[in-house]
A and B are shown apart, each in its own frame.
Chain A
Amino acid sequence: MIEIVTRPHREHFVRWAEHRPEVLVLSADLTSSCEADAFRDAYPERFFSLGMAEQNMMGFAAGLAREGFFPYIHTFAVFVTRRPFDQVAMSIAYPNLPVRLVGFLPGITTPGGVTHQAIDDVGLMRLLPNMTVLEAGDATEATSVLDVAQAIDGPVYIRQLRGEVPRLFPADAPMQLGRARQLADGADLCVISSGICTEEAMRATAALRARGLGVRHLHVSTLKPFDDPAVLAAVSDVRLGVVSMENHSIIGGLGAAVAELMAEHGVGRRLVRLGLKDTYAHGASKPYLLREYGLDAMALVRAAEDLAGARLDIDDAGLAAVRLGTLSAAEKTEDL
């Protein structure tokens, strides 16, 4: 079974920041909700409450960064990327300041409805010059993303997970900048997934392989820059085509990045983009919304059927029966 880690960011961040006195936290009234309460309690002199005032918070972060500090902004992804977009663009991104924007509740992971669901955050942050965009896909990445972000000379947007987070990747296999994880190999179909969609994709790829389809599966955590040669190689020589799968609009995010990559390199394969298809979502449970908007394992099965031109006879019970465990780095599932 998959190990579930409770609040991976919360305690790890405290340990990680212990010997980094230049790391500060700026919060906008969502401190516990963004698992920054342990940091606040451990290092109150490095924690600054800026209230429900995100535009000003971005400016304060910029000023602190100009003076040698590393502000880690903690709030919901919508309030990092949408409300203060001009401030992020002008005060932080243009001067290439090392502000780390940690955005929680990506996409449909919240039942909070349209106001709380960040469905365009990756697109907005990818648009900004100088901005690096990272997304955590599991508990290992939710913690190791800090080392990746901290090493970057410039602003970083982190699409972060909170609460009960599965561990898909071994704790000793940290996120690496610009390096996708290959989770399976096969010659028929290439699946490229990010964030919480990777767990769904893993469920489907196991079932697809059992039906004799060769599935190559890559998990992407660096959404910008999008220049991993392994991704280009992976999409270049599959027989049927490529499926991208993301907890985000199909415009501006992973699917768009894959489409741009394939078009620019003349990769003449079909691409099916799974994600929110130019629609807002609404408040409901994660499993319900994954199904409603075609972000779940079954959606990937349907995409594979579309590319294969054949029904594969996989049902919900078959997908539910798939046993997932934490993948070891060396243990790649071979093509069947």
Chain B
Amino acid sequence: MNQAVATSMPVAPGRDAAAEVARVADAVRRRVLAYTLKNNGGYLSQACSSAETLATLYLRVMRLGESTAPLVPRPFAGVPGPNNPHAFTGADYNGPRAPDLDRFIFSPVHYALVLYSVLIALGRLGPNGLDAFNQDGSTVELIGAEHSPGHEVTAGSLAQALSQAGGIALARKLKGETGRVWVFMSDGEFQEGQTWEAVAALAHHRIGNLGVYIDANAQQCDGAMTDVMTIEPLAARLRAFGADVHEVDGHDSDALAAPAQGFGSGDRPLAVIARTDPCRGMELMRERTPKLHYLRFKSEAEIRAYEAQLAAMDAAAAEDRA
């Protein structure tokens, strides 16, 4: 299938795919920074590390249909249950379910604002889609839930999504569907034993229609992963477990997209380790290393500095458009 036809926001004529990824990634960093300023806090480093990976997934890897969800997110309709026919997931922002279309499973849901910002940059979510961000009764939650735009499963207890995606991929194999299952994960999730149980099961059952993109930004809540509990050598570990592993520069869209080309008909799961910089495009933040997990401003002066940063990024983006 032609990816440009299948995606709702095909790469614009005259611009190449890498440039489009760069445009989306820049818009994501600016939007997440703006909301971090607005809320005096946010998961900014995650936007800086994963913007290109998520943009590449949507623009160059996943075969998705157009969004069937409203541009302004629906309010929360209650938790799922036998007596609540109104409950929904946010998967329809990734298009309809069809045998030949891919599925997207989003695991580190504290990256929710990054995903929302990607959806806005792609036109899958309206520009006002974040008006209800972090507001009571909204589905556009700070920590994404399965009813949040772009989300499909309950994943906030980290490392549970890969197993669920494995079940979905196995089911699709049993049903003879050609669509693939893509999972976005954070590297911290490789500290959980369940992740390794899942990779072992994927390899054992020869589930070759599931690919994982890992935002390896090497940082977590307590600080640098090498200090908290190292997961390295991640590539060697994954290979030993039976995955087809590619280790790439997570800010290079061409490198990110390459391993996915032609993927889906083999018998091994794909793992793309995106080596990323949690301060990419936000040099100001580097002084906080290694405590980058959640940015909360410490002073008025710091807020002014980040506001100036946003103004400069907005101006540069406007210049690019002109």
Give the residues in chain B near A69, CB-CB below 8 Å: 171, 174
Binary per-residue interface labels of chain B (160-191) against chain A in the complex, 1 for a CB within 8 Å, 0 otherwise: 11111111111110110000000000000000
- Expressed in whole angstroms, the Cα–Cα distance for A62 and B79 within the complex equals 17
Give the residues in chain A near B146, CB-CB below 8 Å: 94-95
Binary per-residue interface labels of chain A (100-130) against chain B in the complex, 1 for a CB within 8 Å, 0 otherwise: 0000000000000000000000000000011
Is A64 interfacial (CB-CB < 8 Å)?
yes
Is A315 interfacial (CB-CB < 8 Å)?
no
Is A90 interfacial (CB-CB < 8 Å)?
yes
Measured CB to CB, the nearest residue on chain A to B97 is: A67
Is B80 interfacial (CB-CB < 8 Å)?
yes
CB distance from A184 to the nearest CB of B (A): 34
Q: Known contacts A59-B166, A63-B163, A91-B163: does B201 contact A53 (CB below 8 Å)? A: yes
Is A96 interfacial (CB-CB < 8 Å)?
yes
CB distance from A166 to the nearest CB of B (A): 33
Give the residues in chain A near B162, CB-CB below 8 Å: 59
- Expressed in whole angstroms, the Cα–Cα distance for A130 and B79 within the complex equals 10
Binary per-residue interface labels of chain B (29-61) against chain A in the complex, 1 for a CB within 8 Å, 0 otherwise: 000000000000000000000000000000000
- Expressed in whole angstroms, the Cα–Cα distance for A62 and B110 within the complex equals 21
Give the residues in chain B near A57, CB-CB below 8 Å: 163
B window 142-173: CB within 8 A of A: 146, 153-154, 156-157, 160-172
Give the residues in chain B near A86, CB-CB below 8 Å: 157, 160
Binary per-residue interface labels of chain B (268-299) against chain A in the complex, 1 for a CB within 8 Å, 0 otherwise: 00000000000000000000000000000000
A window 41-74: CB within 8 A of B: 48, 50-51, 53, 55-69, 71
Q: Is the CB of B204 within 8 A of A94?
A: no
- Expressed in whole angstroms, the Cα–Cα distance for A48 and B202 within the complex equals 12
Is B14 interfacial (CB-CB < 8 Å)?
no
- Expressed in whole angstroms, the Cα–Cα distance for A53 and B205 within the complex equals 14
Measured CB to CB, the nearest residue on chain B to A99 is: B167
- Expressed in whole angstroms, the Cα–Cα distance for A320 and B146 within the complex equals 56
CB distance from A63 to the nearest CB of B (A): 2
- Expressed in whole angstroms, the Cα–Cα distance for A218 and B171 within the complex equals 42
Give the residues in chain A near B262, CB-CB below 8 Å: none
CB distance from A68 to the nearest CB of B (A): 7
Q: Known contacts A62-B164, A67-B168: does B197 contact A56 (CB below 8 Å)? A: yes
- Expressed in whole angstroms, the Cα–Cα distance for A65 and B168 within the complex equals 8
Q: Is the CB of A130 within 8 A of B172?
A: no
CB distance from A286 to the nearest CB of B (A): 33
Binary per-residue interface labels of chain A (140-166) against chain B in the complex, 1 for a CB within 8 Å, 0 otherwise: 000000000000111000000000000
Give the residues in chain B near A95, CB-CB below 8 Å: 80, 146, 153-154
- Expressed in whole angstroms, the Cα–Cα distance for A96 and B153 within the complex equals 12
Give 25 CB contacts A-B under 8 Å: A51-B201, A53-B201, A55-B193, A56-B163, A56-B166, A56-B198, A59-B161, A59-B164, A59-B166, A60-B166, A60-B167, A63-B167, A63-B170, A64-B168, A67-B171, A67-B172, A67-B175, A86-B160, A87-B163, A91-B163, A94-B154, A95-B154, A96-B82, A96-B87, A129-B81
- Expressed in whole angstroms, the Cα–Cα distance for A210 and B198 within the complex equals 59
Q: Add 12 more A-B contacts to A64-B167, A95-B80, A154-B81 (CB < 8 A).
A: A48-B205, A51-B204, A56-B194, A60-B164, A63-B163, A63-B166, A63-B170, A66-B153, A87-B163, A96-B87, A152-B82, A153-B82
Give the residues in chain B near A60, CB-CB below 8 Å: 163-164, 166-167, 170, 201
- Expressed in whole angstroms, the Cα–Cα distance for A64 and B166 within the complex equals 8
- Expressed in whole angstroms, the Cα–Cα distance for A96 and B172 within the complex equals 20
Is B17 interfacial (CB-CB < 8 Å)?
no
Give the residues in chain A near B174, CB-CB below 8 Å: 69
Is B257 interfacial (CB-CB < 8 Å)?
no
Is B200 interfacial (CB-CB < 8 Å)?
yes
B window 68-104: CB within 8 A of A: 79-82, 87
Q: Is the CB of B201 within 8 A of A63?
A: no
B interface majority secondary structure: helix
- Expressed in whole angstroms, the Cα–Cα distance for A55 and B163 within the complex equals 8
- Expressed in whole angstroms, the Cα–Cα distance for A87 and B164 within the complex equals 10
- Expressed in whole angstroms, the Cα–Cα distance for A168 and B148 within the complex equals 50
- Expressed in whole angstroms, the Cα–Cα distance for A186 and B160 within the complex equals 51
- Expressed in whole angstroms, the Cα–Cα distance for A55 and B194 within the complex equals 6
Q: Is the CB of B153 within 8 A of A55?
A: no
- Expressed in whole angstroms, the Cα–Cα distance for A153 and B201 within the complex equals 28
Q: Is the CB of A63 within 8 A of B165?
A: yes
Measured CB to CB, the nearest residue on chain A to B205 is: A48
Q: Is the CB of B198 within 8 A of A91?
A: no
CB distance from B235 to the nearest CB of A (A): 21
Measured CB to CB, the nearest residue on chain A to B193 is: A55
Q: Is the CB of B160 within 8 A of A87?
A: yes
- Expressed in whole angstroms, the Cα–Cα distance for A91 and B153 within the complex equals 8
Q: Is the CB of B160 within 8 A of A66?
A: no
Give the residues in chain B near A50, CB-CB below 8 Å: 201
Give the residues in chain B near A91, CB-CB below 8 Å: 153-154, 160, 163-164
Q: Is the CB of B80 within 8 A of A130?
A: yes
Measured CB to CB, the nearest residue on chain B to A46 is: B174
Instruction: Pick the 10 closest A-B CB pairs, nearest first.
Output: A63-B167, A59-B163, A67-B171, A56-B197, A53-B197, A60-B167, A63-B168, A55-B194, A64-B167, A96-B80
Q: Is the CB of B197 within 8 A of A55?
A: yes
Measured CB to CB, the nearest residue on chain B to A56 is: B197
- Expressed in whole angstroms, the Cα–Cα distance for A153 and B81 within the complex equals 8
